[in-house]
Structures are given as C-alpha cells and as structure tokens.
C-alpha cells in the first residue's frame, strides 16, 4: 500500500506548491480533483486534453517529485434533475475518464448520483425509509429508470477507454453503503467498484472492517480515503444521526467530520489498515481533510503521522504485517 493525499485540501496553492508539500511529507501518491464538487484547482481535463504541451508539463510536474497519481476525482451528480448540473457533471466525468486514459491512471472517482423523485423534479431526492409506500415507488423508479441505464452506459464508455470507476458510497446519493455499492456493480458492470471512505460509514453505524472484507470478496475495493467522523453521543441520543444542521454548527450536530484519530483512535485505524492488508489491497490510502476544527496543515500532518505509524511493515517471507 502507498500513502497519499487528496490534493484538493491544498486548493489554494498552485499545483507545484501542492506537489512540493506532498513530496516533502514523504508521501508516494496524489489524488487529483478534476471537477464536480471538489473542483479542478490543479487540473482542468478539457484544457489538458486539448494541449499536449500542457499535458506533458502536468505529467512531468508529478513525476519529477517522485509521485504517482492514484486517481482522478470528479465527485458529482450526473443524475441531477437540474439538466444543466447533470450535464456538466456528466461531461466532467467523461473528460476525466479520457484524461485518465492519456495519463495511464487506472481509476476515476465519483458519486453514483441521485435523481429526483420523478421526471418533474427540480432537486435530488434521497430515500431513507420504506414507508409511506411512496418512498419505495420512488426508489424503484430511480434505480430502474435513471441509475441502472446511466451506469450501464458509462460502464461501456469506461471499458472503451481502459479505465475503471470507484464510486464513493455517500449518504444523499443512491449508493451509500455496501449493499447499494454491490448492487450497482452487479447491475451495471464489473469495472464499477468503490472508493472506500470510513467517515461516511461510521455515522451510519457501519463497521469499516466488515465493509472492506465484503467488498474485497467481490473484487470491488478500488481506492481508499482516510477520513474520520466524531459522533457526539449526547446530540445523537437526543436527535439520532439523520442530522440536517449545517456542518458549521459543530456544537449541536450529532456528528462531524474529523481528521483521522480524532473521531476514532489509533487502534481503530490500525484495524482498518490491517483489514486492507489482509484482503490484499495494494492501492493508495489517500488522506482527505474536511475537519472544521483543525487547520489544513495540522490535519494533514497529524493524518500523515498516524498513518505512517500504522503502515510500519516488516517483511516476513512473502507476507507483510502491519
């Protein structure tokens, strides 16, 4: 396994400055935002695809620092019922796939998307319970009329370009847990896998170790985000975890995203890393920072320190032990 970072946390720096910080921290790989919600501060696929000189300069900037690209990420909602948003995110996804092919990057990361409740919707509708019965009708329509047709088509597009997609399970989208991840893969194509982010699973009361093993059984574990979540026991006891208060209202929310080790301790993260090793994951552990209580630099350095400790390995024969 390699230790890397999702470079959007350095979106206020130039590409070269961000790469220097990452290389100086002793990391080996970088995940780069190319559109969607993370934006494209360091990489504009359409621009690079249109200009070989800029493309080669981009490649050299990464390679000259001894880094490799673990994935290109354009987390978006190509199924958004607002046609302009859906079209933009779809085009950014396809341009990202084309760029990944040119760069020799195997994996593109995004969300599954979430449609509305009908053809007349203005906003996405995420179904969270089976009753009233209308909810199941909406869910059936979403999967059969929007999700499956779209991702079957994208699976063929990906195959034509020799790239795979890692869907990040995320509440608010139709793929949000292990079960929905595997359904999308089964229905739409075996080049559709998962970008595994424990932070979205912790607050759903899921065990990341169980999820890692289940996805590995189906060869669906493509990429990994290192991000944590802290559950506020008092707020959760009062209001449950389906919390719609803004992320900035840290004091009153049931949970907030944290730098790794600040939601769940080092022992939990060591178990997660060990599970990745046990199932044969050989990709990148990509640090993601969305901690509103900690600066980017502090969160980044603390994450690097904890993960380096967890990734200390000794080679015994042909086995690696954490």
pLDDT given at position 199: 98
pLDDT given at position 311: 87
pLDDT tens across the length of the chain (322 residues): 999 999 999 999 999 999 999 999 999 999 999 999 999 999 999 999 999 999 999 999 999 999 999 999 999 999 999 999 999 999 999 999 999 999 999 999 999 999 999 999 999 999 999 999 999 999 999 999 999 999 999 999 999 999 999 999 999 999 999 999 999 999 999 999 999 999 999 999 999 999 999 999 999 999 999 999 999 999 999 999 999 999 999 999 999 999 999 999 999 999 999 999 999 999 999 999 999 999 999 999 999 999 999 887 533 334 444 4
Angle at which helix 208-217 crosses helix 266-278, to 10 degrees, equals 10
Alpha-carbon distance of 148 to 168, in angstroms, equals: 16
Residue length of the chain: 322
Alpha-carbon distance of 158 to 163, in angstroms, equals: 5
Per the rule left: phi > 0, alpha: psi between -120 and 50, beta: everything else, 265 is beta
Domains of the chain and CATH, by start: 2-321 (3.20.20.150)
pLDDT given at position 313: 54
Q: How many CB atoms are closer than 10 A to CB 280?
A: 9
Query: Furthest-apart CA pair in the chain: how many Å?
Result: 61
- What is the 3 state secondary structure string of 18-67? HHHHHHHCCCCEEEEECECCCECCCCCHHHHHHCHHHHHHHHHHHHCCCC
139, 180 Cβ separation under 8 angstroms: no
Helix and strand totals (H; E) in the chain: 12, 12
- Among 201, 229, 228, which Cα is nearest to 214's? 201
């Amino acid at each position: 396994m390699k230790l890397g970072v999702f470079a959007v946390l350095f979106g206020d720096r130039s590409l070269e400055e961000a790469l220097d910080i990452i290389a100086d921290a002793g990391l080996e790989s970088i995940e780069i935002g190319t559109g969607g919600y993370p934006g494209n501060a360091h990489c504009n696929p359409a621009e690079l695809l249109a200009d070989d000189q800029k493309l080669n300069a981009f490649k050299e900037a990464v390679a000259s620092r001894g880094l490799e690209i673990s994935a290109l990420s354009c987390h978006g909602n190509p199924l958004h019922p607002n046609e302009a948003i859906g079209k933009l995110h779809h085009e950014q996804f396809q341009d990202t796939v084309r760029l990944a092919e040119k760069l020799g990057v195997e994996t593109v990361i995004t969300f599954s998307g979430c449609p509305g409740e009908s053809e007349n919707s203005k906003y996405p509708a995420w179904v969270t319970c089976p009753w009233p019965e209308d909810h199941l009708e909406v869910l059936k329509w979403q999967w059969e009329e929007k999700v499956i047709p779209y991702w079957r088509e994208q699976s063929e597009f990906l195959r034509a370009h020799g790239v795979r997609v890692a869907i990040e399970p995320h509440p608010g989208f139709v793929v949000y847990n292990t079960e929905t991840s595997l359904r999308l893969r089964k229905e739409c194509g075996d080049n559709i896998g998962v970008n595994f982010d424990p932070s979205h699973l912790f607050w759903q009361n899921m065990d990341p170790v169980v999820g890692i093993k289940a996805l590995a059984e189906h060869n669906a574990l493509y990429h990994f985000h290192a991000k944590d979540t802290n559950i506020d026991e008092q707020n959760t006891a009062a209001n449950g975890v389906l919390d719609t208060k803004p992320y900035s209202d840290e004091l009153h929310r049931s949970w907030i995203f944290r730098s790794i080790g600040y939601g769940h301790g080092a022992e939990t993260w060591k178990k997660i890393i060990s599970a990745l090793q046990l199932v044969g994951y050989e990709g990148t552990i990509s640090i993601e920072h969305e901690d509103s209580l900690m600066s980017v630099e502090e969160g980044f350095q603390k994450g690097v320190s904890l993960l380096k400790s967890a990734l200390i390995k000794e080679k015994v024969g042909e086995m690696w032990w954490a």
